Protein backbone atom coordinates (compact mmCIF):
# COMPACT_ATOMS: atom_id res chain seq x y z
CA UNK A 1 0.00 0.00 0.00
CA UNK A 2 1.47 3.41 -0.94
CA UNK A 3 1.92 6.31 1.49
CA UNK A 4 -0.97 8.35 0.11
CA UNK A 5 -3.44 5.46 0.54
CA UNK A 6 -2.15 4.88 4.08
CA UNK A 7 -2.61 8.59 4.88
CA UNK A 8 -6.21 8.51 3.57
CA UNK A 9 -6.98 5.44 5.71
CA UNK A 10 -5.54 7.20 8.78
CA UNK A 11 -7.66 10.28 8.10
CA UNK A 12 -10.72 8.00 7.90
CA UNK A 13 -9.75 6.42 11.24
CA UNK A 14 -9.27 9.86 12.88
CA UNK A 15 -12.54 11.16 11.42
CA UNK A 16 -14.45 8.24 12.95
CA UNK A 17 -12.82 8.88 16.35
CA UNK A 18 -13.59 12.62 16.19
CA UNK A 19 -17.19 11.98 15.12
CA UNK A 20 -17.66 9.63 18.06
CA UNK A 21 -16.28 12.19 20.53
CA UNK A 22 -18.36 15.09 19.16
CA UNK A 23 -21.60 13.11 19.00
CA UNK A 24 -21.03 11.85 22.56
CA UNK A 25 -20.85 15.47 23.76
CA UNK A 26 -24.47 15.82 22.57
CA UNK A 27 -25.58 12.51 24.12
CA UNK A 28 -25.85 10.81 20.71
CA UNK A 29 -24.11 8.08 18.76
CA UNK A 30 -22.42 9.25 15.51
CA UNK A 31 -25.15 7.61 13.42
CA UNK A 32 -27.87 9.37 15.44
CA UNK A 33 -26.06 12.71 14.97
CA UNK A 34 -25.73 12.00 11.22
CA UNK A 35 -29.46 11.20 11.06
CA UNK A 36 -30.53 14.47 12.72
CA UNK A 37 -28.19 16.46 10.44
CA UNK A 38 -29.51 14.57 7.39
CA UNK A 39 -33.07 15.66 8.25
CA UNK A 40 -31.95 19.26 8.87
CA UNK A 41 -29.92 19.62 5.67
CA UNK A 42 -31.96 17.59 3.17
CA UNK A 43 -34.78 18.99 1.06
CA UNK A 44 -38.03 18.69 3.00
CA UNK A 45 -39.61 16.49 0.29
CA UNK A 46 -36.66 14.05 0.28
CA UNK A 47 -36.28 13.14 3.97
CA UNK A 48 -37.46 9.55 3.51
CA UNK A 49 -36.02 6.59 5.42
CA UNK A 50 -34.81 5.19 2.07
CA UNK A 51 -32.74 8.31 1.38
CA UNK A 52 -31.50 8.26 4.98
CA UNK A 53 -30.32 4.65 4.50
CA UNK A 54 -28.46 5.73 1.33
CA UNK A 55 -26.84 8.65 3.19
CA UNK A 56 -25.79 6.41 6.09
CA UNK A 57 -24.67 3.60 3.79
CA UNK A 58 -26.82 1.24 5.85
CA UNK A 59 -29.69 -1.16 5.23
CA UNK A 60 -33.26 0.12 5.29
CA UNK A 61 -33.93 -1.92 8.46
CA UNK A 62 -30.95 -0.34 10.28
CA UNK A 63 -32.10 3.17 9.29
CA UNK A 64 -35.60 2.38 10.59
CA UNK A 65 -34.01 1.27 13.89
CA UNK A 66 -32.09 4.58 14.24
CA UNK A 67 -35.24 6.58 13.41
CA UNK A 68 -37.33 4.61 15.94
CA UNK A 69 -34.87 5.46 18.73
CA UNK A 70 -34.80 9.17 17.81
CA UNK A 71 -38.62 9.28 17.57
CA UNK A 72 -38.75 7.59 20.99
CA UNK A 73 -36.45 10.29 22.40
CA UNK A 74 -38.69 13.03 20.99
CA UNK A 75 -36.07 14.34 18.55
CA UNK A 76 -37.68 13.19 15.29
CA UNK A 77 -41.25 12.82 14.03
CA UNK A 78 -42.75 10.97 11.05
CA UNK A 79 -45.10 12.90 8.77
CA UNK A 80 -47.17 11.76 5.81
CA UNK A 81 -46.20 13.55 2.57
CA UNK A 82 -48.94 15.97 1.47
CA UNK A 83 -48.20 15.14 -2.21
CA UNK A 84 -47.94 11.36 -1.95
CA UNK A 85 -49.73 9.78 1.00
CA UNK A 86 -47.67 6.57 0.59
CA UNK A 87 -44.49 8.48 1.43
CA UNK A 88 -43.45 9.13 5.02
CA UNK A 89 -41.09 12.03 5.64
CA UNK A 90 -38.87 12.65 8.65
CA UNK A 91 -39.10 15.95 10.52
CA UNK A 92 -37.15 17.43 13.43
CA UNK A 93 -39.18 18.17 16.54
CA UNK A 94 -38.45 21.46 18.38
CA UNK A 95 -36.21 19.43 20.74
CA UNK A 96 -34.47 17.84 17.72
CA UNK A 97 -33.85 21.35 16.29
CA UNK A 98 -32.29 22.36 19.60
CA UNK A 99 -29.94 19.34 19.57
CA UNK A 100 -29.07 20.02 15.92
CA UNK A 101 -28.03 23.58 16.72
CA UNK A 102 -25.48 22.10 19.13
CA UNK A 103 -24.28 19.78 16.35
CA UNK A 104 -23.63 22.58 13.85
CA UNK A 105 -20.02 22.54 14.99
CA UNK A 106 -19.86 18.77 14.31
CA UNK A 107 -16.54 18.32 12.51
CA UNK A 108 -14.91 21.43 14.02
CA UNK A 109 -11.95 19.37 15.29
CA UNK A 110 -11.31 18.26 11.72
CA UNK A 111 -11.48 21.89 10.54
CA UNK A 112 -8.97 22.87 13.22
CA UNK A 113 -6.57 20.22 11.98
CA UNK A 114 -6.60 21.90 8.55
CA UNK A 115 -5.95 25.38 9.92
CA UNK A 116 -2.16 25.03 9.65
CA UNK A 117 -2.29 24.61 5.85
CA UNK A 118 -1.54 27.49 3.48
CA UNK A 119 -4.14 28.65 0.92
CA UNK A 120 -2.25 26.81 -1.85
CA UNK A 121 -2.02 23.60 0.18
CA UNK A 122 -5.75 23.77 0.96
CA UNK A 123 -6.61 24.35 -2.70
CA UNK A 124 -4.41 21.43 -3.84
CA UNK A 125 -5.87 19.15 -1.15
CA UNK A 126 -9.41 20.17 -2.10
CA UNK A 127 -8.77 19.41 -5.79
CA UNK A 128 -7.13 16.05 -5.06
CA UNK A 129 -9.69 14.88 -2.52
CA UNK A 130 -12.52 16.16 -4.74
CA UNK A 131 -11.27 13.90 -7.53
CA UNK A 132 -11.14 10.92 -5.12
CA UNK A 133 -14.68 11.63 -3.89
CA UNK A 134 -16.09 11.85 -7.43
CA UNK A 135 -14.32 8.68 -8.47
CA UNK A 136 -15.77 6.83 -5.44
CA UNK A 137 -19.18 8.28 -6.23
CA UNK A 138 -19.03 7.32 -9.90
CA UNK A 139 -18.10 3.77 -8.85
CA UNK A 140 -21.17 3.67 -6.57
CA UNK A 141 -19.23 3.49 -3.27
CA UNK A 142 -20.31 6.88 -1.93
CA UNK A 143 -23.54 8.87 -1.78
CA UNK A 144 -23.06 12.62 -2.10
CA UNK A 145 -26.10 14.82 -1.56
CA UNK A 146 -25.72 18.45 -2.63
CA UNK A 147 -27.82 21.60 -3.13
CA UNK A 148 -29.44 22.34 -6.52
CA UNK A 149 -26.85 24.64 -8.07
CA UNK A 150 -24.54 22.66 -10.32
CA UNK A 151 -27.15 19.92 -10.93
CA UNK A 152 -28.01 19.15 -14.56
CA UNK A 153 -31.75 19.15 -13.73
CA UNK A 154 -31.76 22.62 -12.13
CA UNK A 155 -33.47 25.53 -13.90
CA UNK A 156 -32.61 28.64 -11.92
CA UNK A 157 -35.22 31.41 -11.82
CA UNK A 158 -37.62 29.57 -14.13
CA UNK A 159 -40.52 31.55 -12.57
CA UNK A 160 -38.97 34.89 -11.55
CA UNK A 161 -40.68 36.76 -8.72
CA UNK A 162 -42.68 33.76 -7.42
CA UNK A 163 -42.26 32.12 -4.01
CA UNK A 164 -40.84 29.04 -5.75
CA UNK A 165 -38.78 30.56 -8.56
CA UNK A 166 -36.61 27.55 -9.44
CA UNK A 167 -37.56 24.37 -11.27
CA UNK A 168 -36.30 20.77 -11.15
CA UNK A 169 -36.62 18.88 -14.43
CA UNK A 170 -36.15 15.53 -12.68
CA UNK A 171 -39.10 15.68 -10.31
CA UNK A 172 -40.96 18.32 -12.37
CA UNK A 173 -41.65 20.73 -9.54
CA UNK A 174 -40.94 24.31 -8.61
CA UNK A 175 -38.60 24.96 -5.67
CA UNK A 176 -38.12 27.86 -3.26
CA UNK A 177 -34.66 29.36 -2.74
CA UNK A 178 -34.57 27.82 0.77
CA UNK A 179 -35.25 24.34 -0.61
CA UNK A 180 -32.72 24.84 -3.43
CA UNK A 181 -30.03 25.42 -0.81
CA UNK A 182 -30.75 22.14 0.96
CA UNK A 183 -29.03 18.88 0.01
CA UNK A 184 -30.62 16.53 -2.53
CA UNK A 185 -29.73 12.83 -2.85
CA UNK A 186 -30.54 13.02 -6.60
CA UNK A 187 -28.11 15.88 -7.31
CA UNK A 188 -26.43 15.03 -10.63
CA UNK A 189 -23.38 17.07 -11.61
CA UNK A 190 -22.73 17.40 -15.34
CA UNK A 191 -19.56 15.29 -15.18
CA UNK A 192 -21.49 12.29 -13.83
CA UNK A 193 -23.95 12.19 -16.73
CA UNK A 194 -23.70 8.99 -18.75
CA UNK A 195 -21.44 9.39 -21.81
CA UNK A 196 -23.49 9.90 -25.00
CA UNK A 197 -23.31 6.80 -27.19
CA UNK A 198 -21.08 7.27 -30.25
CA UNK A 199 -22.95 8.12 -33.43
CA UNK A 200 -23.09 5.35 -35.98
CA UNK A 201 -22.10 6.35 -39.53
S1 LIG B 1 -32.46 16.62 -8.83
FE2 LIG B 1 -31.12 18.39 -8.96
S3 LIG B 1 -32.45 20.12 -9.50
FE4 LIG B 1 -33.75 18.44 -8.79
S5 LIG B 1 -34.08 18.86 -6.62
FE6 LIG B 1 -32.32 17.48 -6.78
S7 LIG B 1 -30.52 18.81 -6.86
FE8 LIG B 1 -32.31 20.08 -7.27
The Cα-based distances of 139 to 82, 125, 135, 136, 162 in angstroms read: 35, 21, 6, 5, 39
User: What is the overall mean pLDDT for the chain?
Assistant: 88
* The CA-based dihedral angle spanning residues 162, 163, 165, 169, taken in that order and rounded to the nearest 10 degrees: -120
CA–CA separation, 55 and 48 (whole Å): 11
For the CA of 188, the closest atom of ligand 1 is 2
pLDDT value of position 92 = 97
Per-residue pLDDT tens digits for 107-140: 677 788 888 999 999 999 989 988 888 888 888 8
pLDDT value of position 197 = 45
CATH class of 21-108: mainly alpha
How far does residue 36's CA lie from ligand 1's centre (Å)? 21
For the CA of 152, the closest atom of ligand 1 is 2
64: helix, coil or strand?
helix
Query: Which of 34-38, 57-61, 153-157, 195-199 comes out lowest in average pLDDT?
Result: 195-199
pLDDT value of position 195 = 47
Per-residue pLDDT tens digits for 14-62: 877 877 777 888 889 989 999 999 999 999 999 999 999 999 989 999 9
Break the chain into its structural domains and give their ranges.
21-108, 146-190
How far does residue 43's CA lie from ligand 1's centre (Å)? 9
Task: Say yes or no to pLDDT of 89 above 90.
Answer: yes
pLDDT value of position 106 = 60
Per-residue pLDDT tens digits for 162-184: 999 999 999 999 999 999 999 99
Is the CB of residue 45 below 6 angstroms from any atom belonging to ligand 1? no
How far does residue 42's CA lie from ligand 1's centre (Å)? 11
Contacts of 77 (CB under 8 A, 6+ apart): 71, 90, 91, 92, 93
> Which residues share a beta bridge with 183?
42
Task: Say yes or no to pLDDT of 196 above 50.
Answer: no
Amino acid sequence: MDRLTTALLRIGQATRAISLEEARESGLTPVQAQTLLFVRRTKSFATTVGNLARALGSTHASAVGVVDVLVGRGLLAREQSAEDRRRTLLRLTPEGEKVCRRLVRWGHLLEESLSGLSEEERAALERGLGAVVWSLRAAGHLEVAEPCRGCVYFEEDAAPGSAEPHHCRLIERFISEEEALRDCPEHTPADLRPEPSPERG
